[in-house]
Amino acid sequence: MVEIPGSAKENGDPGPIAREGMQAAWPICLGYFPIGLAFGVLAQKAGLHPVEIGLMSLLVFAGSSQFIAVSMITGGATVLSIVITTFVINLRHVLMSSSLAVYLRSVSKGWAALFAYGVTDESFAVNLTRFRNGNWDWRQAMVLNHAANAAWIGSSILGAFSGQFIPAGALGIDYALIAMFLCLLVFQLRGKLYAITAIVAGVLAVILALLVPGNVYIVLASILAATFGVFFRRLARKTNPDVL
Amino acid sequence: MIHAEYLILVVGMGLVTYIPRWFPIFFLSRRQLPQWFSEWLDLIPVAILSALVFPELVTGGNPRHLDFSQPQLWVALPTFLFALKTKSLGGTVVVGMLLFWMVGKLL
């Protein structure tokens, strides 16, 4: 797109900014909706109240970790183990926020703090692409983050209320999480090294899951596989600099 | 209505999720991460997603054991291909759920 002088970015008119943010956000909202719905249903089945479900979506706003938290609650896990698992799963946002930070230098600390709340795999991917293209600033990005957030909270509460009308196993809702992970995994397969790391992590996770009870295999396998990936990349660069 | 323990849980989860999102924007916007660390962080998402999904597909039961006959695994193959082909998150979730539901009806 061509940068038009006096456009939304220049004069601060909230109308076009909101519209541009929403236009970029709608695919994310559409993607969140069935997942939020599925999350609400599963959480309700795990015995959580709609208010509790909405509160988790509001305070955490991170899909995979919320699903895992619900399954850990069902399994009788302790608060501490759920919080530690959540931390490790969501640590990946450090890299996303680091990449986005470059584009947020002019933003006040308060707005940056609010922006940080909305950094998810999906909002990061869309915002970073737009920032790189140049016709995007933090206000549109902020609208996008919060539109996605609203879709997430809304759909999880809706799922929480409709959960009681949906029998267990109906419409394959139990598979929503696996399908989401499979697709997010596909998004992450950006080259050979990522595919190798994925295979190493998957095989390690299966072995560790068989050997160690509980959910610690997720954290262990991820850390080991990513460490392996870094060494593998360095080694490959030494032998053939063009490989990876 | 909301138990104190649950409140501690979601506040704790919220904090440990928020801090990694906020920290780099607050502190690192003018600094550069060490290269090995950003390379490591770059591989974390793919590793986590794979570590999450593989055991779901090929292990089951309590205590866990290998099981290659689960519908989870067989539905994963077309679902993965659909994701690869369409790159649609919502679409993949719907297709995966539908296939899993249909397999459940057949078995």
- Do the beta carbons of residue A82 and residue A215 sit within 8 Å? no
Domain ranges of chain A: 8-176, 189-244
- Given a cut of 80, whether residue A8 has pLDDT beyond it is no
- Given a cut of 50, whether residue A84 has pLDDT beyond it is yes
Residue B62 in any domain: the answer is no
ipTM comes to 0.83
Residue closest to B93 by CA, chosen among A181, A215, A16, A91: A181
Asked if A26 has any chain B CB less than 8 Å from its own CB, the reply is no
Provide the pLDDT for residue A6: 41
Percent of chain B scoring above 90 in pLDDT: 52
- Given a cut of 70, whether residue A241 has pLDDT beyond it is no
Cβ distance A171 to B98 less than 8 Å, yes or no, reads yes
3-state secondary structure of B69: coil
Using 50, 70 and 90 to split pLDDT, how confident is the model at B42?
confident
Question: What token pair was written down for A3?
Answer: 């940068």
Stretch A15-21: mean pLDDT: 89
Q: For A33, name the nearest residue in chain B, comparing CA atoms only.
A: B90
Residue B2 in any domain: the answer is no
- Given a cut of 80, whether residue B28 has pLDDT beyond it is no
Torsion of CA A175, A71, A97, B87, to 10 degrees: 0
Residue of A51, A95, A171, A208 to mutate, testing the B interface (most B Cβ within 10 Å of its Cβ): A95
Q: How many structural domains comprise chain B?
A: 1
Asked if B48 has any chain A CB less than 8 Å from its own CB, the reply is yes
Asked if A87 has any chain B CB less than 8 Å from its own CB, the reply is yes
Asked if B34 has any chain A CB less than 8 Å from its own CB, the reply is no
Of A101, A109, A179, the CB nearest to B24: A101
Asked if B105 has any chain A CB less than 8 Å from its own CB, the reply is no
Residue B38 in any domain: the answer is no
- Given a cut of 50, whether residue B61 has pLDDT beyond it is yes
Distance CA B44, CA A64 (A): 14
Distance CA A103, CA A106 (A): 8
- Do the beta carbons of residue A128 and residue A100 sit within 8 Å? yes
- Do the beta carbons of residue A63 and residue A42 sit within 8 Å? no
Tell me which range, A16-30, A174-188, B10-24, is most confidently predicted by mean pLDDT.
B10-24
Chain A residues close to B85, C-beta within 8 Å = none
Of B14, B54, B84, the CB nearest to A59: B14
Asked if B4 has any chain A CB less than 8 Å from its own CB, the reply is no
Q: For B3, name the nearest residue in chain A, comparing CA atoms only.
A: A52
Residue B9 in any domain: the answer is no
Q: For B96, name the nearest residue in chain A, comparing CA atoms only.
A: A179
One-letter amino acid at B17 equals T
Residue B81 in any domain: the answer is yes
Cβ distance B17 to A188 less than 8 Å, yes or no, reads no
Tell me which range, A84-98, A131-145, B73-87, B92-106, is most confidently predicted by mean pLDDT.
B73-87
User: Residue B79 belongs to what domain range?
Assistant: 69-107
Chain A residues close to B9, C-beta within 8 Å = 69, 79, 82-83
